[in-house]
Chain A
Amino acid sequence: MITFDLYVPGDSPLHRLDPRVKLLLLAEGLTAAFLIHSPWAMAAGLLVLLGLLRLNGVPLHLLTWLWRQMRVLLFFILLLQPFFSPGGGVLLAWGPLRWTSGGVEAALYLALRVLLMAYLVAALLFTTEQRRLVQALVRLGMPYEWGLMLSLTLRFIPAIYGLFVTVREAQAARGWRAEGPLLKRWRGYLPVLVAVVIGTLRQSDQLTMALAARGLGRTARRTVWRDLRMRPLDWLALGAGLAGAIAFAALRGIG
């Protein structure tokens, strides 16, 4: 069964860091990735991040897995982006389309930036349990019902995907074949989607009742078991993050 859970169980400092602090650091990291223009700084940031993840117990195969997921996208960025950002000498021309040295450079930067951002987001997901992430969002002001909805979605997506696979198999077992024109083949998917939607609706009806039966919304205020609590290390990381942001802003102000 597939899951959308990238969490790597562990007890490293990065794992233990309060998810609210991690969310802040992520926001800072993403902002910086947007604002920094030096490829060297971005590459250095990426290397530091990868080193940090390895030191905090994220296995190498997961880091390379993300690379494999990203490389097609990166390839297309490198291929297509130069057309949209001309500048510098022409390297290749094909009709009105031109590959320029400036364009290639811009594409390289963009690819690097996208990669850095992907690893930043993954760093959060690799080291944070879904439950704690949702808890953090709720503590930062998101209504509890939204948080519940988010975790239910994450919880049931694999089940829905599983249902999709099951119905496809059943169709094949009753004679469905990947033949004929593409359009006809795609139409074969339609009934599958119908079955999946019906299955999902049936399940969500049940789910609504199950939540009610277990007491959703029965008290004005829920209590929270194992609530998030900031510890000295969290405050330290928060302080460092803020200081870094201020320093960055000041440097950019001067530069």
Chain B
Amino acid sequence: MPPEAIALRGLTFAWPTPPEGREAVPLFRDLALHLEEGAARTVLGASDGGKSTLCHLLDALVPAYTGGELRAERLEVLGLDLRREIPTPAQVGLLFQETATQLFTTSVEEEIAWGLEALAMEPQAIGRRVEAALTRFGLAGLNRRPPWTLSGGQQKRLALAALWAQSPRLLLLDEPLGGLDPQGRAEVRAALEELRAEGATLLATAALDRLAPWAESCLLAEGMLSPPRPLDRWPKQALAEHGVAVEDAALERLRGAASPRGKAAVELRGVRYRYANGVEALRGLSLRIAEGEMVALIGPNGAGKSTLLRHLNGLLRPAAGSVRLFGQETAGRSVGELAREVGFLFQRPERQLFAATVREEVAYGPRQLGLAEVDRRVETALVRFGLEGLADAPPAILGYGRRRAITLAALAALETPILVLDEPTVGLDGRGWQQLLAWLTERRAAGTTILLATHEMALAATADRVVRLEAGRIAAQGEPAAMLAGEGGR
């Protein structure tokens, strides 16, 4: 029998008791996990379900750095009892979900060298190891680039290279495919496949079945881990119920919610935009969207999708050309004024929460705009996104999934006639997808005009029209079926 890389049994863990009135619900209850050396396993679980905590626990960061109450019959990694011993980076490597935080130096090569210096490797050997890691993960030639200028996929690969250079026997990968566009996902998937082929021991997490690196999966739900099973042996419906999958029916409902078109809601004419660094992001772009229409913008990174969206509520102003909403020029109207007509969802919106309570957060927009029936709007939005029980909680202490839901509720409360969404599904778990789809279905049926930028072809396929941007111009547009035929389906 091969030696055990991970052996957990009877694990119970709860965060430190929160302040008044909130009970400490154990995050893990009698959790068990076994992984043999040389094996690979996915832990599937919805946001806020404890996936990151499990990873941190297996690297002895929890509870050492976070506090919390831990009990276990057995808590061993590579034969080390984590209650007494801390694994070194030469034993366990951890890829953080928020990879950017893990890259703390100012150049790619230094990032890899840093960990080797920490292990007191001989300086002559470090140079060779750095080069080997760069080549191994397809980063050769990027030696001097600052890590924060790399694409999402490159950042993940750099973090992997830095871990790999320290030669760990077990790699913990917290959502390695999450938050990436399809190209980044393909890059990282390939890198992980290679590690797998070399016989590395790997434990990865995923918040969505499609983002599972390996089919052999356990489901983390209600604080317990199910025994492993290949992904295709889980009924899709069960996965959706546990918030880690999207049923096709939800997408179908959105597709079917099309409403009749009215006059022009959005009209861009000959819009040009150039960033201060000289990059010409939009090069004479014209687009007309009818009231009640849903349009999906697709195209590679840097094609100008976000730049275009930012023109709709005045965050950016065209250098030439015009933007009209319901026939009115946006020029001369502030972003705050345009917020009456355009509800805007940013990328990574969960970082933008600032109010003291969830209720205040959701009420902020309607109050700023002096809208009628603020209370009714707020209550409706809170119920819509299952937040009514958390109305008085500070958004800052809530988990990722909840914070994403708050951003949608804050947007929903504005009840704007136009919705502009920039990559709304990135980082969402199955539950987040379902919430988003259900809400969009409702708004679309009610005649709201929707413009969204996405890399998810399954989402783009639900639109009335798909517009493909390339290098700041519309390269093609048309019905989803025709437009997405060559995009590799879902």
Query: Is B89 touching A218 in the complex (CB atoms < 8 A)?
Result: yes
- Of the stretches B100-108, B183-191, B282-290, B450-458, the one at the interface is B100-108
Query: Is A214 touching B61 in the complex (CB atoms < 8 A)?
Result: no
Which of A158, A172, A214, A221 interacts with B89 by CB under 8 Å?
A: A214
Query: Is B105 touching A215 in the complex (CB atoms < 8 A)?
Result: no
Query: Is A175 touching B339 in the complex (CB atoms < 8 A)?
Result: yes
The reply on A163 being an interface residue by CB < 8 A is yes
Query: Most B CB atoms within 10 A — which of A155, A199, A210, A221?
Result: A210
The reply on B201 being an interface residue by CB < 8 A is no
Using A166-B352, A172-B335, A223-B117 as known contacts, say yes or no to A159 and B148 having CB atoms under 8 A apart: yes
- Report Cα–Cα, A96/B340, bound state, in Å: 55
Query: Which chain B positions have C-beta within 8 A of A131?
Result: 105-107, 110
- Of the stretches B41-49, B72-80, B122-130, the one at the interface is B122-130
The reply on A176 being an interface residue by CB < 8 A is yes
- Of the stretches B230-238, B320-328, B362-370, B434-442, the one at the interface is B362-370
- Of the stretches B217-225, B239-247, B343-351, the one at the interface is B343-351
The reply on B56 being an interface residue by CB < 8 A is yes
Query: Which chain A positions have C-beta within 8 A of B102?
Result: 206, 210, 214
Query: Which chain B positions have C-beta within 8 A of A205?
Result: 65-66
Q: In the complex, which residue of chain A has the Cβ closest to the Cβ of B365?
A: A174
Closest-CB distance, A185 to chain B (whole angstroms): 12
Query: Most B CB atoms within 10 A — which of A152, A171, A174, A194?
Result: A174
Query: Is A206 touching B115 in the complex (CB atoms < 8 A)?
Result: no
Query: Which chain B positions have C-beta within 8 A of A163?
Result: 351
Contact with A along B266-308 (1 / 0, CB 8 A): 0000000000000000000000000000000000000000000
- Of the stretches A41-49, A106-114, A224-232, the one at the interface is A224-232
Contact with A along B82-116 (1 / 0, CB 8 A): 00000011001110101011101111001001111
Query: Which chain A positions have C-beta within 8 A of B339?
Result: 172-175
Closest-CB distance, A6 to chain B (whole angstroms): 13
Which of B121, B126, B130, B368 interacts with A175 by CB under 8 Å?
A: B368
User: Which residues 353-374 of B sit at the A interface, judged by CB distance below 8 A?
Assistant: 353-355, 364-366, 368-369
Query: Is B114 touching A214 in the complex (CB atoms < 8 A)?
Result: yes
Query: Is A173 touching B335 in the complex (CB atoms < 8 A)?
Result: yes
Which of A198, A208, A211, A219 interacts with B119 by CB under 8 Å?
A: A219
Q: In the complex, which residue of chain A has the Cβ closest to the Cβ of B149?
A: A1
Query: Which chain B positions have C-beta within 8 A of A212?
Result: 61, 65
- Report Cα–Cα, A78/B116, bound state, in Å: 53
Q: In the complex, which residue of chain A has the Cβ closest to the Cβ of B116?
A: A225
- Report Cα–Cα, A163/B344, bound state, in Å: 17
- Report Cα–Cα, A223/B346, bound state, in Å: 43
User: Which residues 21-37 of B sit at the A interface, judged by CB distance below 8 A?
Assistant: none
User: Which residues 177-196 of A sit at the B interface, judged by CB distance below 8 A?
Assistant: 177-178, 191-192, 194-195
The reply on A130 being an interface residue by CB < 8 A is yes
- Report Cα–Cα, A191/B96, bound state, in Å: 28
The reply on B8 being an interface residue by CB < 8 A is no
Q: In the complex, which residue of chain A has the Cβ closest to the Cβ of B88?
A: A218
The reply on A209 being an interface residue by CB < 8 A is yes
Closest-CB distance, A239 to chain B (whole angstroms): 28
Q: In the complex, which residue of chain B has the Cβ closest to the Cβ of A179?
A: B336
The reply on B17 being an interface residue by CB < 8 A is no
Contact with B along A64-101 (1 / 0, CB 8 A): 00000000000000000000000000000000000000
Closest-CB distance, A203 to chain B (whole angstroms): 6
Using A175-B365, A222-B118, A223-B117 as known contacts, say yes or no to A194 and B354 having CB atoms under 8 A apart: yes
Please report the total number of B residues contacting A with Cβ < 8 Å. Answer: 65
Interface of A, helix, strand, loop or mixed by DSSP: helix
The reply on B251 being an interface residue by CB < 8 A is no
Closest-CB distance, A237 to chain B (whole angstroms): 25
Query: Which chain A positions have C-beta within 8 A of B59?
Result: 213
Query: Is B313 touching A173 in the complex (CB atoms < 8 A)?
Result: yes
Closest-CB distance, A2 to chain B (whole angstroms): 11
- Report Cα–Cα, A227/B126, bound state, in Å: 12
The reply on A145 being an interface residue by CB < 8 A is no
Q: In the complex, which residue of chain B has the Cβ closest to the Cβ of A211?
A: B104
The reply on B162 being an interface residue by CB < 8 A is yes
Q: In the complex, which residue of chain A has the Cβ closest to the Cβ of B87?
A: A213
Query: Which chain A positions have C-beta within 8 A of B351?
Result: 163, 166-167, 195, 199
- Report Cα–Cα, A178/B335, bound state, in Å: 10
Q: In the complex, which residue of chain A has the Cβ closest to the Cβ of B310?
A: A169
- Report Cα–Cα, A151/B103, bound state, in Å: 12
- Report Cα–Cα, A174/B142, bound state, in Å: 40
Using A166-B346, A191-B355, A225-B117 as known contacts, say yes or no to A214 and B105 having CB atoms under 8 A apart: no
Query: Which chain B positions have C-beta within 8 A of A219?
Result: 118-120
The reply on B396 being an interface residue by CB < 8 A is yes
Which of B115, B335, B337, B364 interacts with A215 by CB under 8 Å?
A: B115
Query: Is B353 touching A195 in the complex (CB atoms < 8 A)?
Result: yes
Which of B61, B110, B120, B130 interacts with A222 by CB under 8 Å?
A: B120
The reply on B173 being an interface residue by CB < 8 A is no
User: Which residues 1-20 of A sit at the B interface, judged by CB distance below 8 A?
Assistant: 1, 3, 5, 9
Using A166-B346, A170-B352 as known contacts, say yes or no to A223 and B123 having CB atoms under 8 A apart: yes
Query: Which chain B positions have C-beta within 8 A of A209?
Result: 56, 61, 65, 96
The reply on B315 being an interface residue by CB < 8 A is yes
Query: Which chain B positions have C-beta within 8 A of A9?
Result: 144
The reply on A207 being an interface residue by CB < 8 A is yes
Q: In the complex, which residue of chain B has the Cβ closest to the Cβ of A209?
A: B61
The reply on A216 being an interface residue by CB < 8 A is yes
Which residues of A come within 8 Å of B, CB atoms? 1, 3, 5, 9, 129-131, 151-152, 154-155, 158-159, 163, 166-167, 169-178, 191-192, 194-195, 198-199, 203, 205-216, 218-219, 221-227
Which residues of B come within 8 Å of A, CB atoms? 56, 59, 61, 65-66, 88-89, 92-94, 96, 98, 100-102, 104-107, 110, 113-123, 126-127, 130, 144, 146, 148, 162, 166, 313, 315, 334-337, 339-340, 342, 344, 346, 348-349, 351-355, 364-366, 368-369, 396, 410, 414
Q: List 28 A-B contacts (CB under 8 A).
A: A131-B107, A166-B348, A170-B349, A171-B354, A173-B335, A174-B339, A174-B364, A174-B410, A174-B414, A175-B336, A175-B339, A176-B368, A177-B334, A177-B336, A191-B354, A205-B65, A205-B66, A209-B96, A212-B65, A215-B115, A215-B118, A216-B118, A218-B88, A219-B118, A223-B121, A223-B122, A223-B123, A224-B123
Taking A159-B148, A225-B117 as known contacts, 16 extra A-B pairs with beta carbons closer than 8 A to each other, sorted by chain A number, are: A155-B106, A166-B352, A169-B335, A170-B349, A174-B365, A174-B410, A175-B368, A192-B354, A207-B104, A210-B104, A213-B96, A215-B89, A218-B118, A221-B120, A223-B120, A226-B123
